[in-house]
Amino acid sequence: MGQEISISERLRSLLLKDTKVVILTGAGISAESGVPTFRGEEGLWKKFRPEELATFDAFMANPQLVWEWYEYRRKIIEEIKPNPGHLALVDFQSYFEKFDLITQNVDGLHHQAGSKKIIELHGNIKRNKCIRCGEKHEDLNKALPGIPPKCPCGGNIRPDVVWFGEMLPQEAIQYAFEVSSACDLFFSIGTSAVVHPAASLPVIAKRNGAYVVEVNLSPTEISHLVDESLFGKSGEVLPFLVKLLK
Ligand code: BJW
Ligand code: ZN
């Protein structure tokens, strides 16, 4: 069993149906499902340097290596399931009348858990698109073989995710800023909060008067500004919070 979880009276008092809630999740929420995180001791990028793999320039320089890295990660994701942290957020969604779930994750596990209307800031690893004509390739049956596969137009196909230096999907990030600035209660869950613009969302929420709570194994870049840190596994802390919803 994990550590004992305790929360403030203030947070308890905010767990009401008409509280406007925004959730931001990161790789940590999927860690208990078996998805490696990016940073930290077990992070994916202990083995691979991000600038070698998660940029468009890296893909252009070594498309095979980058494609294979994503194939390796897709295989992991295919074999795993949402964990109690993802499932708790489904309960949150059905309890709170105003609720938004924003994720930096590309693994689709919130969707698989049953959450609705998920704002995916960094794309989705299961989708692909052509770097030349932009056509989306949801499945690769129509693609021509190769590593990476080719679009019928001749362009290389890449994962439909957001790499460093690339713009986030405009509608998604705009909506994320809007709801974060207008919420009462903001949770930053399982993210190191170092990658922008996602990492600005808790800051914006705080600046606009929201009560900001982080759920993480250890302190993060935003620990100094949040109202409350709940240290523990999200797969334990979030189900604990669900039990407090009336
Ligand atoms: C647990 C747990 C458990 C573990 N329970 N917790 C402002 C300032 C400085 C820089 C910038 C800025 N604005 C933009 C930038 C540049 C850049 C950036 O942010 N750089 C910083 C790193 C310095 N941002 C961008 O380039 C973004 N684009 C952009 O801004 O466009 C406009 C622009 C264009 C051109 C020029 C300038 C501006 C795009 C960012 C795209 C990020 N993409 C990635 C890869 C996606 C595809 C893929 O998956 O391969 O997204 S990077 C990677 O990091 C991935 C993640 O979504 C993202 C965040 O990581 P996350 O989720 O926080 O994971 P970790 O591993 O860091 O943390 C896990 C946490 O969980 C840890 O804290 C653990 O403790 C915890 N944990 N187990 C609870 N069981
Ligand atoms: Zn094409």
Residue nearest to atom 24 of ligand 1 (CA): 196
Question: Going by CATH, does the domain composed of 43-79+131-161 fall within 4.10.91.20?
Answer: no
Measured in angstroms, how far is the CA atom of residue 67 from the centroid of ligand 2? 16
pLDDT band at 154 (very low <50, low <70, confident <90, very high): very high
Q: 25 CB less than 6 Å from ligand 1? A: no
In one-letter notation, the amino acid at residue 134 is G
Two structure tokens written together for 52 = 């070698």
Beta strands in 121-236 (DSSP E): 123-130, 157-161, 185-189, 211-216, 228-231
Q: Which ligand is nearest to the CA of 74?
A: 1
List CB contacts of 100: < 8 A, sequence separation 6 or more: 21, 22, 23, 117, 119, 175, 176, 179, 183
Mark out the alpha helices in the chain (DSSP H runs). Answer: 9-14, 28-31, 50-53, 56-61, 63-78, 84-95, 109-113, 170-182, 200-207, 234-243
The band of 108, judged by pLDDT with boundaries at 50, 70 and 90, is very high
Token pair listed for 115:
């959450």
What separation in Å is there between the alpha carbon of 199 and the centre of ligand 1? 8
Q: Cα torsion for 76, 77, 81, 86, to the nearest 10°?
A: 130
In the predicted structure, residue 52 carries a pLDDT above the cut 80:
no
Query: Please, which pLDDT band fits residue 2 given cuts at 50, 70 and 90?
Result: low
Distance (Å) from CA 37 to ligand 1 centroid:
11
Please write the tens of the pLDDT for every residue from 12-31.
Answer: 999 999 999 999 999 999 99
Determine which residue's CA is closest to atom 40 belonging to ligand 1: 164
What is the distance between the alpha carbons of residues 29 and 197, in angstroms, rounded to a whole number? 19
From the candidates 86, 110, 111, 122, give the one annotated as an active-site residue.
Answer: 122
Q: Which of 83, 37, 81 is nearest to 190 (CA)?
A: 37
Name the residue among 171, 27, 18, 1 with its Cα closest to residue 106. 27
Q: Where are the domains of the chain?
A: 9-35+81-122+168-243, 43-79+131-161
Distance CA 245, CA 17 (A): 8
pLDDT at 240: 98
User: Quick one: pLDDT band at residue 174, thresholds 50, 70, 90?
Assistant: very high
Arch. (CATH architecture) of 9-35+81-122+168-243: 3-Layer(aba) Sandwich (3.40)
Confidence of residue 4 (pLDDT cuts 50, 70, 90): confident
216 CB near ligand 1 (under 6 Å): yes
Contact assessment for residue 233 and residue 2, using Cβ atoms and an 8 Å cutoff: yes
How confident is the model over 98-107, as a mean pLDDT? Answer: 98
137 is catalytic: no
pLDDT averaged over the chain? Answer: 94
Residue nearest to atom 10 of ligand 1 (CA): 196
Give the model confidence (pLDDT) of 117-146 as tens digits: 999 999 999 999 999 999 999 888 777 889
Question: Using the 8-state DSSP alphabet, how is residue 183 labeled?
Answer: -
Task: Confirm or reject: Cβ of 8 under 6 Å from ligand 1.
Answer: no
| Range 189-209 average pLDDT | 98
Name the residue with the closest Cα to ligand 1, atom 31.
Answer: 167
Cβ contact 164:55 at 8 Å: yes
